[in-house]
Structures are given as structure tokens and as C-alpha cells.
Structure 1
Amino acid sequence: MQLAAIIVSLVLIAVGVALLGRAVAQFVRYFRLGAPVPAGTRTDEPVTRTVTVAKEFLGHTRMNKWGVVGVAHWFVAVGFFSLLLTIVNAIGQLFQADWLIPIIGDWLPWEIFVEFLGLMTTLGILALIVIRQLSKPGKAGRKSRFAGSNFRQAYFVEAVILIVGVCIMTLHALEGVQHGVDSYDAGYFASYPLVMAFQDLSLATVQNLTYFFAMLKIATSFIWMITVSLNIDMGVAWHRFLAFPNIWFKREASGDVALGALLPMVSDGKPIDFEDPGEDDQFGVSQVEHFSWKGLLDFSTCTECGRCQSQCPAWNTGKPLSPKLLIMALRDHSHAKAPYLLAGGGKTAEGEEKATEEQLKDVPAAALAEAERPLIGTLEENGVIDPDVLWSCTTCGACVEQCPVDIEHVDHIVDMRRYQVMIESSFPSEAGTMLKNLEKKGNPWGLAKKQRLAWTKEVDFEVPVVGKDIEDLTEVDYLYWVGCAGALEDRAKKTTKAFAELLHIAGVKFAIMGGDEACTGDSARRLGNEFLFQQLGQQNVEMLNMAFGEDSDDESTKKPKNKKRIVATCPHCFNTIANEYPQLGGEFEVIHHTQLLQHLIDEGKLVPVTPVEGLITYHDPCYLGRHNKVYTPPREIIAKVPGLRNEEMHRHKERGFCCGAGGARMWMEERIGKRINNERVDEALSLNPDIVSTACPFCLVMLTDSVNGKKNDGKAKESIQVVDVAQLLLESVKTPEEPADDGEPVSEPEPEPAK
């Protein structure tokens, strides 16, 4: 037994280590196939990045949001690395059954450590196995986060961990027998029943059992190593190694997720100059090798856990997009195409082959066939990613927020969209109207500039306009960025007027840009039209800098520097100006209107006094919540309004469900599956609320459309309202009107609507 155990174990160790070394070398060559990233963007602040990795791993910051799953996974993950010395111990036991690691082998803290983590790793993997079985797609269908995952690979990995855990506990018990443990010992608090069971066995039998279980532990571990080394696209196994560099090289050194701003378009690791682009500049991604090396690392790191899929609004409403399946498809394609690329293969912009026949002669036929597949294409075209998958994304960020290994799904989706829009001119036809309107009129509805001021005629106080009523913004506290929807869409204009009136009541000096304001370019950028975003953005940045008194290079004539404070009611405008305009040279202090309103309430400048009766539920806008972490102010405003009873929907805050308008989906029709706004409204209506509130004009439109549709179908009560929190606050801040002599309230006549 001992000889067989030694031979089997040493052979497997030698083969496993050799193949692991080869696999690591393959990964290095494979990741180098990706495009470079701008210098310093993934390696800045190395100490902070290292601390971030430690926090995310030891704290399991994402996984622990999933309760039992997170705790069980923590013990499995930590046990894998911290119990590596037990393999050394097992190797020693092959040659001497009672061998212990020198110095610490019989140290009580070490024995307790091995006992505890060995037990918890075993229990942890058992819990994960049970959870996987209870969540199998056969029972839950698309609702299962494991739908589409590779179950055979997952079962193999789970079986390996379970066997190793059992071996650790058994070997520890056998150690106790051979080292004279004959009564309860703290170092064997869990395996003590096994120690007692082995006590009556002969020494030879105990030794043979030690050889066998040591061999089983080593063989299982190195069979796993051999298997994963031969399958470097096996993300469910490799994520335990690749997660560390993937988190270390994440976009934000601070540990923040890759949301908020989109990355600037780059070609060969350098930003593209849109005023004078180079002839060889690559616009977006049309081949898998156009992704950066970090993108290729992302794809290989995916562990197929499906947390992204379970939160995705597209997948949850019957659409073909699953962030998990998209990343898996890109991973499988990139690995299958790698031999062709490593041989020098690739296509020019004109579609010509870069490599010679001689270079490609030894490339496997499967890799050559994979190289011919279009990255974006229908099933008939044998495309890697179907166009319906690509255009289903709302860029809500739920996938990025949930991913435990920090994959940057939204960036990759937008990169593929950029090529489709800017080079192929291939995108949903409805979006074309929006783009033309942005180009010609500066707003997605194609309305005239003067229409942006129409709402100001519907309020009974003056709204100063920069360049007309005031010279510049040095005279006011805030520039109110109204946004296209806030100025031009009837439902959103109600929010605009309510917020402006609240500022007027609070005595806050503000002004607007009026007709000089143009769309921030959010929808254009997320659709993939980076060029149009750059045009609109540069125009707005120049206009804003001038309005804030920085329009002169001559220091003698330059106006006093003003705080560049902007308040926006639209989270998309808020996100773009705050997070993306710095890429264009625009540095502004931007807040959302709910943040300012909360501040004014706290200062006592706005006092909610009139009760607004009813049950309310609040919908988190994705670009306010997940993208910018603004969750508290809207809820605090609601809490200050007397009479309101707030109840959260099941999916809220970090797990809030999208309204369906983000990622330029506002301008595209939903033709597949259930409408996302209907799914969200159904969730709201399950609470039987009187009011559905939000803090975004896009959300307001989407939720109102759905609620009105359900009213018409008799599925929603007629009295239910969909309003912005600013409208609620205004209703409460205003005191009830005094009744006239005839008992009717005295009120001003409604102003005529602007024509």
C-alpha cells in the first residue's frame, strides 16, 4: 500500500506541476494577444490595489451579500489556500505514517486551525452542492442563475473539494490515533468520534489507512490540477487563481465597481483624437483580439455563478441577453481562436489575412474555422454574439455590481456597440431618428431650442437664463441643468417645475442655460456613437466653462473664479456631467436634485408640513443608484413628508430593477419577451401602493406608461400616481389653501400651456 501510494502520488505531482507551468505560460501568451490599455490606468496606486484585493477576498464583499452562499463560499475559498500545508503533511505521511510538519505539526493552535477549517470547508462545499441542486435549471428554468452554466465542470470541482475536505478530517483523526489521543482533545474537537472509531484498529491497519487517504488527497488534488491545466477555459476552476489579478487590475484602484463613466475610446492603448483620427485607429471592437488584455482576463475569470444573470433585467423578461452567457461565449471564442492568433493570424480593416499560408499551416482546422466567425452575427451567420443580445442591454450595471470577480460587462458591451454603430452603421432603426435629432437639434425629440424655455412660462416666478437675464453664473448659487426630458417631455416638465419652485421657496439662487443647453450625449454614447457624444460634450463643456466665468485666457479680464456647481434632475445628465465630462476637460461640482432637496430640508429652508396620505414605494433609477451610489436622499425626503408610508419593493437599492430606458433603450422598441417597465410595475403593484415614486425623468416616463396601460386593462387602480420625489415634497411644503367665503379654496388660475 505504501509503495503504491508513493508511486501514484509522485507521478501525479510531477505531471500536475509540469502541466500547470505550461498552462500559466499559455495564459501569459493568450492575454498578450489583447490590445494594450492606456499607460498607468490599470497599475496606478499599487498599494491601494493590493489592499482592495485583500478586502474583497478576505471580506468576500460581494459574495456575502448572498447570505448562506457567501459564508459557505468564504470557507471553501479560504480553506483552499490556507490548508495547502496539509498537502505537504500528506506527502510526508506517504513515507512515515505518523509524520507531522516540523515545529507547528503538534502545536495546538495549528491543530485547531486545521480541524476547524477542514470541517467548515467540507460543510461549506456540501451547502453549495445542495444549493446548486435546489437551483437547477430543470426546476427553475431561466430563473435559475445556473441556466447555461457548465454543470459537469461544476460537479467535478465540487467533488474534488468534498473529497479533499473528507481526507483532511480523516487524516487528522488518524494522526490523533498515532500520537496517543485517547480522550477528548481540543485539537480534535470535530474528528474525535473518528479518533475513537480508529482506536481499536491495529497499528498496521492505521498506517495503511494513512497511506491510502494521503494518496487519495494528493491524487484528487493533482488530478484536479492536471484537468484544469489541460482546460484553461474552465472558468469554474481557474477563477480561484485569476480572480486575484482580475480584481487587482480592475478599473478603479479604490475598489469601486466599473460603473458611472464609460471608458474613453482607445486604439492600440491610446485615446482616439476625434478631431483628427489616425488612419489605422480601431473604432470599437469587431474581433475578439480588439478587446484589451484586461478584457481577455475578464472572460477567463468568469466562474459561471450567474449572479449577473439573476439580476439582469433583459434576461428576467425573456430576452436573449445573459451577461454570464455573453462573457462565456467571448471566453470560449477567444480560447478557440487563440492558436490562429498566436500563429500571426488576423484580419486587416479591409478583411485581408495578415498571416501567410506558411504561418498558418500548423494551425488546427477548428481554430481556423473559429477565426472566420463574425463577432456580432445572427445564428445563420454563425456569429459569436447575436445582435439581439447586444442591443438588449440597458447598461443598468446590475451585472457589474453583482460580479464577485469584478468583470466589466458594460464596458465590453459598449465597445462592441461602438464598432457596430460607427463603422457598420448597424443598430436598431428606431435609434437612428434619435441620433439624427441629436445631430441637428441637440435633443432626441428634434424640437427647436426655444422650446427648452417653454416651461418657464408655466411658473409664477422668474427663472433667470444665462446670457439673457444674467451675464454669467457668478451671480447665482447653482446652475440648474434641466436636461432634454425635463425641458421638453410633458411628464418630466412637472418635475422640473416642482423642483424650480422648491428652489424658489427655499431662497436658492439658480439659473438655467435655456436654449444654449444641448443634450449631454448620454444616449448617444451608450448606443455606441462616441463621435456624436464627443461633439455634444465638447460643445457643452465650452459653453459651461464660459458661463462659469472662465471664457478668457487673459488673466486681467478673466472673471473671478466661481464654484462650478450644477444641480440636475436627470440622473443620466448628472452622471455624464459629473463623471464623463472630466474626460473632455469639464470639471464641475454636480449634485442630483434629491441631494440638494435633502440638504435644504436639513437646513430648515424647506419644511414639509402638509400630509400626503398613502402607501408609497420608491423605484431606484439605475444611473442614480448603482452607477452613483445615491440611495439615501430620496428615501429621506419621503420619510420627512408627513402621511406617507414607505414600503420597499423586493428588488431595491443595489439590487434595484431597471425601468428599461437606459443604454439608449428609451429610444428603441421592445419586441422580445415582456416589457421591462411592465415587469417593474408589476413588482410595485404587488404592494398595492397609492404612489410609485422615482427620481429620474426616464424612469418617470417608463413607469407612467406601464401604469397607465395597466389602468386601461383594469389591472391597476385609477387613483395610483407615478411622481418624482420633488413633486411629493412640493405638495407637502405648500400650506393648504385658505377657503373662500363660499367654502371654495382660493387659488390662482392655471396658466395657459405654452404653445
Structure 2
Amino acid sequence: MLSLLNLLAFLALAGYATYLFAQLVYSRYLFVKLGKKADFERNLKERINAVLVNGFGQRKLFKDKKSGLMHLVLFYGFFIIQVGLIEIIIKGFIRGYEFPFGSSHKYFSLFEEWTVFLMLCAMVYAFYRRYIEKLRRLQLKRDAKAAFVIIALITLTLSVLLTLGFEKIMLGDSPDFFYSPFSGVITAAFSGLGKIAGTVLFYVFWWLHMITVFSFMVFVPQSKQAHEMFALFNLFFKKVGPVGRLKKIDFDDEEVEEYGVGKIEDFTRQQLIDLYACAECGRCTNMCPASVTGKTLSPMSLIVKLRDHLTEKGAVVTSRSPWMPSYVFGSSALSLSSRSGLAAEEISATVEMPNLVGDVITEEELWACTTCRNCEDQCPVANEHVDKIIDLRRYLVMTEGNMPHEATRYFQNIERQSNPWGINRKERSKWREERDDIHVPTVNEVEEFEYLFWVGSMGSFDKRSQKIVQSFAKIMNKAGISFAILGNEERNSGDTARRMGNEFLFQQLCEENISNFQAYGVKKIVTIDPHAYNTYKNEYPEFGLEAEVYHHTELIWKWIQEGRIKPVKEVKEAIAYHDSCYLGRYNNIYDIPRKILTSIPGVKILEMERNKENAMCCGAGGGRMWIEETQGKRINVERVEQALQLSPTLIGSNCPYCLTMLTDGTKAKEAEELVKTMDIAEIVERSLAG
């Protein structure tokens, strides 16, 4: 009779918990469906690889090795103990039940107990990191739900061992310290209680385990633990192809009245899956240059606020669904629907939802982003923060016409003179006149050329950056390379305009540039600017560009290998090398610049603590080069301080924007007399003979 009552109680609890779980999962499915359909590129090989490497392989998690190991134990332990859970459930109805594994069952028990014990150790370590070590990134979201997860999982694992331990006492069995080592200790410690007390405690801990399992099951979909369900889907459905590539807007679509994302449902479904995949681990914010220097932007907070807003609005919009229980509604929808019984359309019209841009996400947050992708590179579930920020910027710029005054001036200068300063475009090639030891022809001065040297606005007009293009021109002359520049016909690449949200201006420049390239039969492009390099290589092809695109460091290394140029003069410098975001995280080029520096006699490379894929942004990307920093510490100063810790004689870079920011940073630290700042091309030129 007792077993029957136990079974009925269990079935009632399991049925109700499963019902609630299904409703919650279905609600999130409906919320994601509110978004726009996204173009799905099949590319199954790349998608499956992403799931295997970052899902089952946990690669991104091992950027923090201690945390990575902890999560690896929890990830695989979770799957393993599900098998043991089935056996434990049956034990509650059939005394002494074991899977029919025969003599091999003892090995199953050994494996199960060690798995549970390691999971318990992992959760104790998680508690230590959050509440004793107080790891910075975990303090960003230190709330009751995080505490509940730790308590629940510790209870879950402990109750398994306690249940198995008291089962032995209930059955009158002796402890087995080899095949059941941890439950065996419990059995031995409480063996004097007797069978009756052992039976009572067995069911106490059996029910504690069952209640914890089902409570956690209902908790998961409505908390950060939802990433356990969404992460693998997110990895599979993430955008494929070049990282950071932005969506093209069709300006010929006359039905479109607003551009960018002004409402949560304007995001694609693919982007909305990101929101529920977020683990709130804080890795993104911990590495964000804006966040660590005191700006209002926190990539994690941005995702969480978008997720909560989607849940709130989704509950309102889908409230008429018979499958939608009241507890999945947001507070506004719940109070209104329960009070008045209004239909979904009436609720949607009556409930005053906060504005996505301005209320949920502030303008200060959006304009603080440098688009460096450090957040995305760190994210273990492949969330893409930057494209969401740019979509929201697009709404501000192209729909509301609302932007910082520096951005307005930038756009006007690009439109009028195709450079950020508004300098007369006819002065674009004057930099050639400052050195008589270099030969730099325009496309109109030669019959044919192999490479179009894209100088860019920085190289054309900025005095410091002109030295970079002059050095690279000298290198090309030494290597015997056939090249030409567009001269005064060169326009802006449009990359910065696109990242600042002005997609219309970007596409206009893109079409003009491609037309120009085609008119001069351009087949190969080389540039000193990683931003132009990225957009020409990864974004222009969608608009019709057919050309090979190179960064100047790629060709310098190629020519060194071919023997076209030979660094022979000793350059006695201890160089703190800075990785630019658009060459590094956007295009995965880290080793080539280092190989170039290593080939130069006398050079010693000093690696900053944050280097390669973890390198900190200089602060210029995403249009921040042209917008004054008014919050917190200047990003370029923080980066220069990291370099100065190594006591270098020179800070090296591969980007004119980075070089400008680093130079300004050394001046701010009053170190410009002690530490030089140079581009790799300038360093190589110093080492060439003649």
C-alpha cells in the first residue's frame, strides 16, 4: 500500500512538473517566433563542427581553464547521471532494484558515484568562485537565481549519494568501499541506526532528490539555465561565413517604413535564440573594453535586458494561446489579463511596453561599443552582441535621425569630401610629395598594375598615418611590385559608416567603389587599414566585388619568404605588440605580424597579458575614433598602460587607427619620449638595406 501511494505521489509530481516544463519551453518557442525569419545558409559541415567543437568540446569555456574544467564535468556529468536517475526512481518502488547488468553492475555503480562526486566538487568550486574568491565577472549577476542553481545542484548530487548510502542500511547490506566508495562511507557512518531508520531516511532523501529534480526542471526554462536547452541550437543556427559580417538592408523594398531594429520583434529569430542561450557567465563583459573602463555598456547586461524584454512582450502578444499559463506572463500582462480577461490584441494595445531603444537599452550603451568582438570571441554559446548593437544603431540613425553630434559631422564630411575631416578630396594624394625616394603612381599614370594600393582616409590625410603608407610604398618599390593608387578618385570604404549605423551611406560608397574597381580592372587590393581590409574581403563580395584582398602585413611576410625584401639592419627594440581587432578577431591573423617582427635582427617581441584573440581594443573601432569619450577612463590609455607594464622601447601595431590611439595614449601617460609607436611597415623599412 505504501509503495502504491509512493508511486501515485511520484506520478502526480512528475506529470505536473513535465506539464509546466512543456508549457514554459513552448512559450519560449513562441517568443522566438515573434522575430523575423532569417536566411538560413545550409553549410551543414561548418554548423556541425561548431556544435562539436564549442558544444561537446567546450572549447570557448577553456579560455578560463579552471572554469572550463568545472563546466566540462557538469556538462558530461549531467548526461551520465540521467541513466542513474532512472535506476534511482525505480528503487523508490522496488526495494533493492538494480539495472540487469549482472556482475557488471558494480562497475556502473563505481562510474556513477565518481561522476556524482566530481559534480559535487564542481559545484562546491562554483560556490567558492562566486562567493569566496568573488571572481569579478561573476559579481556582475549575483542574484537569488544564481544561488538557487548552486544550492539545487549541490542538493541534487548529495541526495544521490545519501539515497544510495541509506539504501544499503535499509537492505541490511554491508558498505562497499571500492565499487560504491562515497555512498559506502555514508553507510558505514550511519550503520548503527538500523533498518527502520535507514528505510525512513532512504525515502526522505529519495523524495528530496525527486523534488529537486522536478523543481529544477521547471526552473530551467525561466532562468539563465535555459542556456542548457538553447546553447546547442544557438551554435548550430549561428551565422556562418566571415565573423562579424553584417546583414544587408534592401533599400529597394518599398514596403519597409523603418530601418534597423526599433522593436524586439524586428530582430531575426536567429538573433532571439541568442537571448535565451545566454549563460550570464559575464565573460563578455569581463573582456569588454567599454565595460572595464567604466562605460555604461555591459554586453551581458544588454543580452539579459533584451531577453527579459522579449519575455515580457512575448507574454503579452501570445497571451491568448490556450497553452500559455499565467506564470509565463510578464508582470504587466499577468496583472492586466487576470484583472480584466482582455484579449491578446487588447492587452497588447493597453499595456504600455517600454521602448526598446531608450528605455530597455540606452543610447549611451549603444554608442559605447567599439565593435571589437571581444565579447563574441569569449562567449561559450556563440552569442553575437555586435550585430544587435549595430541594428539598434541603424534604427537611431536611419529611422529616428538620432545620433551624437560627432557622428552627424562625420557622415556629412564623408558625403561631401569622402573623408572624416571634410578636407578637400583633391588633396588625397599629396602625401606622395613628402618623400622623393618613393615611386607611387596613380591608376592613370600606368598602363597596368598588379595591386591596387588602397591608401584610405587615414593614410591619405592623417600626418602620422601618412608615414605608414610611405614606408609600405618604399617596401613595395624595394620588392619590385607593380602597384598603383586611385589618388584623388579614391573614396572612403564605408566601413565606419556601416558600424555607426548608416547602412545607406555604406551601400552608396560600396557601389561607387566597386564601380571604380571594375573600371580600372582591379584584381588585387592591398591596404594598411584592417577595417577596410575586412569590409572589402568579407562584405563587399555580397555587393559584387571580385578581387583578392590583402592586408599589408600578409604581403610583407610573403615577400620576405620569397626573398624580395630582406630585413638586414639591426633594429634594437623591445616591442610590445598590439593586435588590432579587425585583423585579429575578425580575420584570425595573429602569427604573420609576429613572424615579420621575428625576422628583423635585434627585435625582441614582448607579449602583453591580453594578446592575440584576447587582446584589448585600442578604442577606435565602431566609430569611436570620431566620438569623444565622456565616461570613465579612456580605452587607449588603459591599453597603453598594459603595454608599459612590459617596459618596452616601442609599441608596435598593424593599423593606422590603433597607432593613432596608442600614440595619444603614450602622450597621455607622458611616455612619448621613452616609448615610440610604430607600424610594422615602418619597422620593416628601418631594417631594409639602402
Q: Give the alignment's TM-score, normalised by structure 2.
A: 0.92
Residue 449 of structure 2 corresponds to residue 476 of structure 1: yes
Distance in 2 (CA, whole Å) between partners of 1:417 and 1:621 is 23
Residue 156 of structure 2 corresponds to residue 164 of structure 1: yes
User: How far apart are residue 699 of structure 1 and its match?
Assistant: 0.5
- DSSP 3-state at the match of 2:622: coil
Instruction: Give the match for residue 86 of structure 2.
Output: 88
Q: Residue type of the partner of 1:519? A: N
Distance in 2 (CA, whole Å) between partners of 1:362 and 1:344 is 6
Task: Report the CA distance shift for 1:165/1:367 in structure 2 as closer, same or farther (over 3 A).
Answer: farther
CA contact (8 A) 1:12 1:223 kept: no
Distance in 2 (CA, whole Å) between partners of 1:46 and 1:103 is 38
CA contact (8 A) 1:5 1:211 kept: no
2:245 aligned residue (261, 267, 278): 261
CA contact (8 A) 1:430 1:668 kept: yes
Residue 349 of structure 2 corresponds to residue 373 of structure 1: no
2:639 aligned residue (670, 675, 680): 680
User: How far apart are residue 148 of structure 1 and its match?
Assistant: 4.0
Q: Which blocks of at least 5 consecutive residues in structure 2 are unaligned?
A: 322-336
Q: Residue type of the partner of 2:354? A: R
The aligned runs of 1:171-182 (5 Å cut-off) are: 171-173=163-165
Q: Residue type of the partner of 2:531? A: H
Residue 288 of structure 2 corresponds to residue 300 of structure 1: no
Residue 681 of structure 2 corresponds to residue 722 of structure 1: no
CA contact (8 A) 2:524 2:549 kept: yes
Identity %: 36
CA contact (8 A) 2:320 2:344 kept: no
User: How far apart are residue 457 of structure 1 and its match?
Assistant: 2.2
Residue 122 of structure 2 corresponds to residue 124 of structure 1: yes
User: How far apart are residue 500 of structure 1 and its match?
Assistant: 1.1
Distance in 2 (CA, whole Å) between partners of 1:390 and 1:596 is 36
Task: Report the CA distance shift for 1:244/1:292 in structure 2 as closer, same or farther (over 3 A).
Answer: same
Instruction: Give the match for residue 291 of structure 1.
Output: 267
- DSSP 3-state at the match of 1:590: strand
Task: Report the CA distance shift for 1:605/1:418 in structure 2 as closer, same or farther (over 3 A).
Answer: same
Q: Residue type of the partner of 1:669? A: E
Task: Report the CA distance shift for 1:18/1:693 in structure 2 as closer, same or farther (over 3 A).
Answer: same
Range moving further from structure 2, 360-369 or 391-400: 360-369
CA contact (8 A) 1:321 1:389 kept: yes
Instruction: Give the match for residue 447 of structure 1.
Output: 423
CA contact (8 A) 2:318 2:344 kept: no
CA contact (8 A) 1:34 1:291 kept: yes
Instruction: Give the match for residue 561 of structure 2.
Output: 602
Q: Residue type of the partner of 1:376? A: V
Q: Residue type of the partner of 1:417? A: R
Task: Report the CA distance shift for 1:298/1:617 in structure 2 as closer, same or farther (over 3 A).
Answer: same
Distance in 2 (CA, whole Å) between partners of 1:385 and 1:691 is 40
CA contact (8 A) 2:316 2:347 kept: no
CA contact (8 A) 2:175 2:185 kept: no
Task: Report the CA distance shift for 1:376/1:182 in structure 2 as closer, same or farther (over 3 A).
Answer: closer
Residues 94-146 of structure 1: per-residue CA shift (max 9 Å, x gap): 1123111233795344333312221211111111111111454xxx7xxx213
Instruction: Give the match for residue 279 of structure 1.
Output: 255
Task: Report the CA distance shift for 1:329/1:690 in structure 2 as closer, same or farther (over 3 A).
Answer: same
Distance in 2 (CA, whole Å) between partners of 1:370 and 1:240 is 32
- DSSP 3-state at the match of 1:677: helix
Distance in 1 (CA, whole Å) between partners of 2:467 and 2:383 is 39
The aligned runs of 1:508-547 (5 Å cut-off) are: 508-547=481-520
2:231 aligned residue (219, 243, 246): 243
Distance in 2 (CA, whole Å) between partners of 1:246 and 1:109 is 36
User: How far apart are residue 176 of structure 1 and its match?
Assistant: 6.4
Task: Report the CA distance shift for 1:669/1:135 in structure 2 as closer, same or farther (over 3 A).
Answer: farther
May I ask how many residue pairs the two structures share in their alignment?
A: 670
Distance in 2 (CA, whole Å) between partners of 1:608 and 1:280 is 56
Instruction: Give the match for residue 57 of structure 1.
Output: 55
User: How far apart are residue 149 of structure 1 and its match?
Assistant: 1.5
CA contact (8 A) 2:177 2:185 kept: no
Instruction: Give the match for residue 560 of structure 1.
Output: none
CA contact (8 A) 1:73 1:128 kept: no
Residue 138 of structure 2 corresponds to residue 154 of structure 1: no
Q: Residue type of the partner of 1:733? A: L
User: How far apart are residue 674 of structure 1 and its match?
Assistant: 1.0
Q: Residue type of the partner of 1:112? A: L
Q: Give the alignment's TM-score, normalised by structure 1.
A: 0.84
Task: Report the CA distance shift for 1:370/1:504 in structure 2 as closer, same or farther (over 3 A).
Answer: farther
Residue 594 of structure 2 corresponds to residue 618 of structure 1: no
CA contact (8 A) 2:30 2:314 kept: no
Distance in 2 (CA, whole Å) between partners of 1:594 and 1:105 is 64
Residue 15 of structure 2 corresponds to residue 14 of structure 1: yes
- DSSP 3-state at the match of 1:84: helix
User: How far apart are residue 212 of structure 1 and its match?
Assistant: 2.5
Instruction: Give the match for residue 439 of structure 2.
Output: 462
Range moving further from structure 2, 218-227 or 206-215: 206-215
Instruction: Give the match for residue 194 of structure 1.
Output: 186
Residue 291 of structure 2 corresponds to residue 315 of structure 1: yes
Residues 64-101 of structure 1: per-residue CA shift (max 9 Å, x gap): 11011110011112212221122211210111231112
The aligned runs of 1:688-699 (5 Å cut-off) are: 688-699=647-658
CA contact (8 A) 1:422 1:529 kept: yes
Task: Report the CA distance shift for 1:370/1:386 in structure 2 as closer, same or farther (over 3 A).
Answer: farther
CA contact (8 A) 2:585 2:613 kept: yes
Range moving further from structure 2, 690-699 or 633-642: 633-642
The aligned runs of 1:701-740 (5 Å cut-off) are: 701-711=660-670, 716=671, 718-734=673-689
Distance in 2 (CA, whole Å) between partners of 1:279 and 1:28 is 27
- DSSP 3-state at the match of 2:651: strand
- DSSP 3-state at the match of 2:678: strand
- DSSP 3-state at the match of 1:95: coil
Range moving further from structure 2, 306-315 or 211-220: 211-220
Range moving further from structure 2, 651-660 or 108-117: 108-117
Q: Residue type of the partner of 1:375? A: L
Q: Residue type of the partner of 1:670? A: E
The aligned runs of 1:412-423 (5 Å cut-off) are: 412-423=388-399
Distance in 1 (CA, whole Å) between partners of 2:462 and 2:556 is 22
Distance in 2 (CA, whole Å) between partners of 1:425 and 1:412 is 18
Residue 25 of structure 2 corresponds to residue 27 of structure 1: no
Residues 427-453 of structure 1: per-residue CA shift (max 9 Å, x gap): 000111110111111222222333221
The aligned runs of 1:619-658 (5 Å cut-off) are: 619-658=578-617
CA contact (8 A) 2:244 2:387 kept: no
Q: Which blocks of at least 5 consecutive residues in structure 1 are unaligned?
A: 266-271, 346-356, 378-382, 550-563, 736-755
Task: Report the CA distance shift for 1:601/1:175 in structure 2 as closer, same or farther (over 3 A).
Answer: farther
CA contact (8 A) 1:624 1:630 kept: yes
Residues 140-173 of structure 1: per-residue CA shift (max 9 Å, x gap): 7xxx213441520011111111111112333444
